Amino acid sequence: MNDDRIYLSVPHMSGEERRFVKDAFDSNWLSSVGPDLNAFEQEVALRLGGDLHTLAVSSGTAALHLVLRQVGVGHGDRVAVSTLTFAGSVFPILYLGATPVFIDSERTSWNIDPDLVREYLDDSARTNSLPKALIAVHLYGQHCDIDAIAEVCAEHGVVLIEDAAESLGATYRGRQTATTARYSILSFNGNKIITTTGGGMIIARDPIAIAQMKKWANQSREPAIEYLHRDVGFNYRMSNVLAAIGRGQLLVLDERVAARRRVAERYADAFADVPGVMLQPEAPWGTHTRWLSVVGLDADDARACPSMIVQALAAENIEARPVWRPMHTQPLFNGAQVIGGSVADTLFAHGVCLPSSSSLSPSAQERVSEAVRRALLQPSAI
Ligand SMILES: Cc1ncc(COP(=O)(O)O)c(C=O)c1O
């Protein structure tokens, strides 16, 4: 077996991070306040464009928790959310004692289906059971069809939240991701397109809401010399050192998007003559970052299933994963309400995420492509 393991998605430093981190150390701003935190928040806001306010926190999950609390989600409320996502999109709903309602994907982008959102919100308005918020996830670096979803949410007074943990750098009708909804969140986890080793960010239009969430993220400390608290809080702030890493990463975001798109293009070329294999389609409304390159295997034409591909790659010391297991099929959410579900089930049954790092060399990628081709063209040899 080849000793050089190829991972799904690894951190890729620009080289500038050390300089930012050194400056942070030299200044001794190492903890939850400091100039890099302020600068990183401003630079992300600037990168996204528009009249936006940002708050850097310890993770994307923490960001979503604070946003849902800001929206007023609590015990007995419903929150609608894409079913085809990572659990971090959903756990914060449970932290607040609310109930998730899962919504299926559409086939154009694999993201939350606007027609099903309309159907669900119209129905729940009739039965007086509207969700308080809807979390639209932008899957694997591709934007959902957010205008259609924003329109129906506005009609029903449902607060729209963008889970842009996987989509920093993606666009939608010329706009950057995380800029349409009232609240959006990003993740800077180690596997993301840029990373602070771990971290997240909230994006909002309302500076007062950001100030409130900042206070909660700082243990709800009142501006008093003694430790005065009127409200429960969390230790959710990002550290200045991690923000310094983020500043070095943000400098190369466009390069990282271009590199991940090149990885996807090389896979498309490598599998062009293999029956029944295609990349997650790129929807006409924007640029897919290809944070992960994901292939769908046609049930009729492909000669291997995702688990065979994952196994074949594992045998060659290459990491691959199935598509996210839909939330409505998770044991934790047994009996939860789901609107549709069969599209996400099919994508899960037939999709594989392939190594997609921006640092993946063409020769390493060829190892992956060759192993996938072998698995698909000579499945009996696996
Ligand atoms: C879609 C989605 N939402 C939320 C999260 C949670 O982010 P974090 O890992 O920073 O808590 C992640 C992944 O990490 C994600 O992929």
Which atom of ligand 1 approaches the CA of 62 most closely?
A: 11
Which atom of ligand 1 approaches the CA of 64 most closely?
A: 4
Compute the distance from residue 178 Cα to the ligand 1 centre, in Å. 14
Write out residues in the chain with pLDDT < 50, as ranges. none
Compute the distance from residue 165 Cα to the ligand 1 centre, in Å. 5
Residue 142, number of CB atoms within 10 A of its CB: 28
Compute the distance from residue 135 Cα to the ligand 1 centre, in Å. 13
Compute the distance from residue 42 Cα to the ligand 1 centre, in Å. 22
Q: What pLDDT is recorded for position 302?
A: 75
Most informative mutation of 57, 65, 85, 86 for ligand 1 (most atoms within 8 A of CB): 86
Compute the distance from residue 226 Cα to the ligand 1 centre, in Å. 35
- CA torsion 207→210→211→214, rounded to 10°? -160
Distance of CA 299 to the CA centre of its chain: 27
Q: Name every protein residue with a CB atom under 6 angstroms from any ligand 1 atom.
A: 59-61, 85-86, 88-89, 137, 163, 165-166, 187, 189, 200
Quick: pLDDT tens for 244-281.
Answer: 999 999 999 999 999 999 999 999 999 999 988 999 99
Q: What pLDDT is recorded for position 2?
A: 83
Q: What pLDDT is recorded for position 379?
A: 65
Q: What pLDDT is recorded for position 56?
A: 98
3-state secondary structure of 381: helix
Which atom of ligand 1 approaches the CA of 63 most closely?
A: 11
Q: What are phi and psi of 193, to 5 degrees?
A: -65, -35
* Cβ neighbours for 265, distance < 8 A, ≥ 6 positions apart: none
DSSP annotation string for 335-350 = T-EEE--HHHHHHHHH
Atom 2 of ligand 1, nearest CA residue: 165
Most informative mutation of 144, 183, 187, 238 for ligand 1 (most atoms within 8 A of CB): 187
3-state secondary structure of 12: coil
* Cβ neighbours for 162, distance < 8 A, ≥ 6 positions apart: 135, 136, 138, 146, 177, 178, 180, 181, 183, 184, 185
Cβ-count burial of 247 within 10 angstroms (0-12 exposed, 13-18 middle, 19+ buried)?
buried
Q: What pLDDT is recorded for position 382?
A: 59
* Cβ neighbours for 345, distance < 8 A, ≥ 6 positions apart: 326, 329
